[in-house]
Amino acid sequence: MNEERITEGSSWIDPRGQVMKTPDDVAEMLRLRACGWGLKRIARQLGCSHHTVKDYVTAGGVKPFKSPERAKRLHGLEG
């Protein structure tokens, strides 16, 4: 089972340390899933978590980065 990676793409790292997959990686995830590959097998092939693969496959492609919504420090003290 010696398979080579189909496309070469580098991951992008944002200032918070979170890693996003490139659009090429996401397209490869979707293509491999359409070929019948399982989530864990795709994750091993691309070197990421199967949870990451599941998120992108569920979204059907590249999903926009969404920062967490948190309450501001002075929220509720406007008056």
Contact 7, 29 (CB under 8 A): no
Contact 53, 46 (CB under 8 A): yes
Q: Tens-of-pLDDT digits for all 79 residues of the chain?
A: 444 444 444 555 555 555 678 889 999 999 999 999 999 999 999 999 999 999 999 999 887 777 888 888 887 887 7
Retrieve residue 61's tokens.
């492609």
Q: Look at residue 53 in the predicted model and tell me its pLDDT.
A: 93
pTM equals: 0.60
Is 8 strand, coil or helix?
coil
Cα gap 45→5, rounded to integer Å: 7
Cα gap 68→50, rounded to integer Å: 22
